[in-house]
């Protein structure tokens, strides 16, 4: 092969214009995709985010260089995929059970200092990996862990029996987080009673409620918030 063929190859200006137009369409589609789904998808917060990004990359990369697929067909495929992802995002936000099914549930590993063996099996995590994650979080003694769980993104949240410095989300978008509630050794009745003291009789009114031993931070869906300093 001579130098000219190595550099230029079978150059066809019309084919390259066709590819360039597809590339512009793909760029616009990705911007719309990020706008609709949310920028957190760039950080691959969950497993479903990773799958969405891989599929999108495969669609764009595979179709751009396929001359048999027209620009309209390309745009239609991107539109359908973006619509599917957008609907999944909307439905998983609205229905927590569907979110757990799509993204996986939060799995308790340690509750009140006791190992949840079934949780370890369900999370498919071995003790060596668990111990390594704890060390990365500054916890070197497994026996000191009071509460630990695997999050939906695969990360592990853990705190020791000295948990005064920790804060946990007990209400998320109008729904009680029972895993965290049990982790701090509190009951649903206790939580509802605390919320009533702050003037909230219905949990569904609350966007988030964060508890720590020193304060209770509540943000209602009306956008106002109250900060209670515990005695």
Q: What is the mean pLDDT of each run of 10 residues along the chain (231 residues)?
A: 50 71 80 68 59 76 77 82 80 69 76 86 88 87 86 81 71 83 82 87 87 82 58 46
Together in a domain, 72 and 138:
no
pLDDT (0 to 100) of residue 40: 54
Phi, psi for 139 (deg, rounded to 5): -110, 115
pLDDT (0 to 100) of residue 7: 47
Together in a domain, 111 and 177:
yes
Together in a domain, 87 and 129:
no
pLDDT (0 to 100) of residue 231: 46
Q: What is the pTM of this model?
A: 0.54
pLDDT (0 to 100) of residue 65: 73
Last residue of a domain, one of 70, 100, 130: 100
- Please answer whether residues 127 and 109 qualify as being in contact, where contact means their C-beta atoms are separated by less than 8 angstroms: no
Phi, psi for 64 (deg, rounded to 5): -55, -40
Together in a domain, 61 and 147:
no
Residue numbers of the domain that contains 188:
107-229
Last residue of a domain, one of 100, 124, 148: 100
Q: Is 36 exposed, middle or buried (0-12, 13-18, 19+ CB in 10 A)?
A: middle
Q: Is 60 exposed, middle or buried (0-12, 13-18, 19+ CB in 10 A)?
A: buried
Structurally, how many domains does the chain consist of?
2
- Please answer whether residues 113 and 146 qualify as being in contact, where contact means their C-beta atoms are separated by less than 8 angstroms: yes
pLDDT (0 to 100) of residue 86: 79
Closest CA to 109 of 167, 156, 165, 152: 156
Together in a domain, 204 and 122:
yes
Together in a domain, 34 and 94:
yes
d(CA 139, CA 157): 11
Together in a domain, 219 and 114:
yes
Together in a domain, 80 and 133:
no
Last residue of a domain, one of 100, 121, 138: 100
Give the domain CATH number at 219. Answer: 3.30.240.20
Collapse the DSSP code of 218 into the 3-class scheme (helix H, G, I; strand E, B; otherwise coil) and give the result.
strand
């Amino acid at each position: 092969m001579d130098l000219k063929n190595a550099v230029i190859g079978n150059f066809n200006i019309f084919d390259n214009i066709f590819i360039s137009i597809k590339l512009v369409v793909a760029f616009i589609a990705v911007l719309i995709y990020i706008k609709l789904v949310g920028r957190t998808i760039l950080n691959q917060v969950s497993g479903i985010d990773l799958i969405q990004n891989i599929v999108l990359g495969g669609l764009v990369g595979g179709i751009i260089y396929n001359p048999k697929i027209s620009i309209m067909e390309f745009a239609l495929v991107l539109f359908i995929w973006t619509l599917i992802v957008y609907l999944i995002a909307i439905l998983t936000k609205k229905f927590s059970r569907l979110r757990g099914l799509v993204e996986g549930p939060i799995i308790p590993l340690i509750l009140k200092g006791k190992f949840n063996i079934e949780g370890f099996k369900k999370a498919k995590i071995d003790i060596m990996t668990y111990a390594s994650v704890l060390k990365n979080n500054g916890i070197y003694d497994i026996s000191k862990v009071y509460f630990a769980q695997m999050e939906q993104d695969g990360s592990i949240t853990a705190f020791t029996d000295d948990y005064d410095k920790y804060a946990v989300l007990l209400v998320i978008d109008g729904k009680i987080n029972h895993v965290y509630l049990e982790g701090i050794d509190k009951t649903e009745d206790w939580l509802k009673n605390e919320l009533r003291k702050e003037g909230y009789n219905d949990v569904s009114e609350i966007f988030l409620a964060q508890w720590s031993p020193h304060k209770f931070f509540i943000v209602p869906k009306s956008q106002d918030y109250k900060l209670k300093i515990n005695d």
